[in-house]
Structure 1
Amino acid sequence: MQQYTTQMDAAKKGIITEQMKAVAEKENLDVEVIRARVAAGTIAIPANKNHKALDAQGVGQGLRTKINVNLGVSGDLADNEMEWQKVQTAIELGAEAIMDLSNFGKTHAFRKRLIDAAPAMIGTVPVYDVVGYTGKIVNDLTYKDFLAVVEKHAKDGVDFVTIHAGLTRHTAQKVLDNPRQTNVVSRGGSVLFAWMVHTGNENPFFEHYDELLDILARYDVTLSLGDACRPGSIADATDAAQIEELITLGELTRRAWEKNVQVIIEGPGHMALNEIQANMILQKRLCHGAPFYVLGPLVTDIAPGYDHITSAIGGAIAAASGADFLCYVTPAEHLRLPDVQDVREGIIASRIAAHAADIAKGVPGARDWDNAMSRARQEVNWEKMYELAVDPKKAREYHDSSRPAQEDTCTMCGEMCAMKTMNRILSGEAGCVKL
């Protein structure tokens, strides 16, 4: 039996894996199309060999836009049970990926619980865990410490890891030479920036990139190349630091593919509407068609408390223009750690954005859901409408909170319901509409 090390290695050898079959079935595509695109790097199937509960998903060319849910404890709010409720909410609402961004204490137990139970792709940012894992302060860390944490997460079963390997000392100097409104807003990027400044050394993930790739290939972990220089305000979008890092990410992508490590590229966080499409095209060109993962982008900076909306606007445009993977943003963004309700609202907003983009991109089957909802509305079939709603619970609660005199209408139109009127007329029913 022919052996392979990673999904990409199998695809290059012409081997169709069980994960490729699962993705092909979900996407209504020929499995050979999936295999060929995994081999080319334009589709990634994050699937760690040790994640036994995984229900494999594909991210990339020609596939449905996927969404990711961030959660995890912080030093100020370390409630693992609340985080577990968020996990259950994410699974209930169909999120394809969950990232555990815990950055306080010993994170292993929660991460293992998540991997053992969750069918979603699981991601982490290992640099968040490096201090808790090693017990050292940032200034005392060595490059081996950074790599050891990556290997620990990979061995645990994480399907993809965000690594800010593109923030080189040269790129860091770009940030210093070209002042930004919000400097470096990536948590992982800021840790590496501080470490480089203190030690005078190169980014350990860039300098020891081949060792990193060997670890990821061993467990078949997908490399999500983080954008440490992503804009944290619309003023910083598409600036020298962001573009310089993106060029480096393109070079690192090719090197990863040479070692059969799958790659996802992470993209901008804040960006004016008119810059989004150009940025998507630029990323795809510079990074050789690798799947693109965006946080938002948030299209304005003035909406704290409503950033799930600013994010959904940008996410829909980004995905319609080529992005493949949306990281949700909650109403709590920029304000506090999100609670369970925040997570729910963020997921729904991102799912709407992703689906709207899939319609625009012509993803096979995307319109079928909308057509089914339209038929249910035409039939005034409330139970079917609830069933098809992106958030059935909220749809039912809204309708039931204001009961109409006639049960087959709602309190907006009552007996003047256009659907009822047209159904009566077109069926030949006699009589006039009663007001």
Structure 2
Amino acid sequence: MAAARRGELTPAMRQVLAAERIDENDLLAGLASGTIVVPANHKHGSLRGCGVGKGLRTKVNVNLGVSEDCCHVERELDKVRRAIELKADAIMDLSTFGDTRAFRRRTVELSPVMIGTVPVYDAVARYGKEVGRITVDDFFETVHVHAEDGVDFMTIHAGLTQTALQRLKNRPRLSHVVSRGGSLLLDWMSANDRENPFYEHFDRLLALCREYDITLSLGDGLRPGCLKDATDAAQIQELILLGELSARCREAEVQVMIEGPGHVPLNEVVANMQLEKKLCQGAPFYVLGPIVTDVAPGYDHITSAIGGALAGAAGADFLCYVTPAEHLRLPDAQDMKEGIVAARIAAHAADIAKGIPGAQDWDNAMGEARRELDWTRMFELAIDPEKARAYRASSRPIDAETCTMCGDLCAVKRSRRILAGQ
């Protein structure tokens, strides 16, 4: 942000310009004002700069990491490699067990995409204490370790304050607090009868982020965990506080994103996007889903893609993928693939709706390939070429130019012949 305000292009900014159709002056203006961020810790040596925000492609994040129940480090590292192959724009390491630092360092080392973490998770794993006995210095030392390891953006639930919690107590929820980081801080605040340490010591956090050029992703600890709780007083109170904190980030020249819901009925998705943009002065919005119905376990990659497409079209800048395993178990590699593909479809659909320059060119090329019945080109253009080829190979037509759905009644082949005057 400081460089952009001086009118200077950094190497990471140049990489963004090479990957996006945005004017150099527009990029600098967006970075200077805070409507665009380029998460790029200077210790992440393998990083390829990626922009998130106004006028840029909607980006997709993948969550992974080891847990106590599924502590398979090499399997998770394979998922890191596979996520990169599947064109994820970011990876969040949410590890909560074992040698989390070794896993995090290996992830940063092999990943050209930006890496995010939630340090409060790691503080629990790192110190092995009851949550209430973790000290303020423990929390900040964990943030410092993640910074040293090259993490580009960090989720910090600094807006979950005593004021926000009072809103929750005044109007109880059906699903209470479903954010893991939010629940940990709730536990700490209750055990110590104190304010959220990241809110109370926010300037200390800003100093660390400024030193390493880490982007703050202000977490939504009070995001709704079911439709009934969506857009309630607790969620909006936290969002108001995040807006105030985002202004402090800009004053300190620290890049900031805002995290959002969560479970939201379809008719409230647009309003949630508008509220964030208004209250947070246009800061990039990073949303989980949103999941638009609660009754589809095993299919939540679909429920979130529906919400994500609408959210993106209405202004969301960054979609956190959701897999079929959401609410059920740790995702495996196949779950991860389905989640990435669903989120990428949603992001691309949103880009077309937003009029992102060049977004529809991809679709136009596919339309041309289908007109010509150019199957090789169709596979090359498919968002999942592997699946498209497998489907085609599983049912061979008599006429190799057509498919087994229509065969000799292929409308494309027939109309092309007639309109060509043959």
TM-score range, shorter chain: over 0.9
Structure 2 CA distance for aligned equivalents of residues 153 and 115 of structure 1: 10
Matched, 1:176 2:169: yes
- Among 143, 148, 153, the alignment partner of 1:150 is 143
Matched residue, 1:293: 286
**TM-score normalised according to structure 1 size:** 0.96
- What letter matches 1:14 in structure 2? G
- What letter matches 2:230 in structure 1? A
CA displacement at 1:12 relative to structure 2: 1.2
Structure 2 CA distance for aligned equivalents of residues 339 and 238 of structure 1: 32
Matched, 1:400 2:387: no
CA displacement at 1:74 relative to structure 2: 0.9
**Correspondences of 1:221-300 after superposition (within 5 Å):** 221-300=214-293
Aligned partners of 2:22 and 2:55 also within 8 Å: no
- What letter matches 2:114 in structure 1? M
**TM-score normalised according to structure 2 size:** 0.99
Structure 2 CA distance for aligned equivalents of residues 14 and 387 of structure 1: 39
- Among 6, 15, 20, the alignment partner of 2:8 is 15
Structure 2 CA distance for aligned equivalents of residues 29 and 232 of structure 1: 36
**Correspondences of 1:277-356 after superposition (within 5 Å):** 277-356=270-349
Structure 1 CA distance for aligned equivalents of residues 156 and 364 of structure 2: 41
Matched residue, 2:104: 111
Deviations 1:261-319 (A, max 9, x none): 10000001100011011110110000000000000000000000000000000000000
- What letter matches 1:169 in structure 2? Q
Structure 2 CA distance for aligned equivalents of residues 81 and 271 of structure 1: 35
SS at 2:155 equivalent: strand
Matched, 1:97 2:87: no
- Among 55, 58, 61, the alignment partner of 1:62 is 55
Alignment identity in percent? Answer: 62
Deviations 1:20-39 (A, max 9, x none): 12112211212121011100
- What letter matches 2:355 in structure 1? G
Structure 2 CA distance for aligned equivalents of residues 33 and 307 of structure 1: 36
Total equivalences in the alignment: 422
Alignment gaps of 5+ in structure 2:
none
- Among 121, 127, 130, the alignment partner of 2:114 is 121
Structure 2 CA distance for aligned equivalents of residues 106 and 376 of structure 1: 49
CA displacement at 1:105 relative to structure 2: 2.0
Deviations 1:366-393 (A, max 9, x none): 0000000000000000000000000000
- What letter matches 1:158 in structure 2? V
Matched, 1:85 2:78: yes
Structure 1 CA distance for aligned equivalents of residues 322 and 27 of structure 2: 29
SS at 2:104 equivalent: helix
Structure 2 CA distance for aligned equivalents of residues 106 and 194 of structure 1: 24
SS at 1:408 equivalent: coil
Matched residue, 2:413: 420
- Among 378, 383, 387, the alignment partner of 2:380 is 387
Matched residue, 2:23: 30
Structure 2 CA distance for aligned equivalents of residues 69 and 290 of structure 1: 21
Deviations 1:146-172 (A, max 9, x none): 111011001100000000000011211
SS at 1:326 equivalent: strand
Structure 1 stretches (4+) deviating beyond 6 angstroms? Answer: none
**Correspondences of 1:134-145 after superposition (within 5 Å):** 134-145=127-138
Matched residue, 1:218: 211
Structure 2 CA distance for aligned equivalents of residues 197 and 131 of structure 1: 16
RMSD value, Cα: 0.8
Structure 1 CA distance for aligned equivalents of residues 212 and 404 of structure 2: 56
Structure 2 CA distance for aligned equivalents of residues 135 and 218 of structure 1: 28
SS at 1:98 equivalent: strand
CA displacement at 1:87 relative to structure 2: 1.0
Aligned partners of 2:178 and 2:224 also within 8 Å: yes
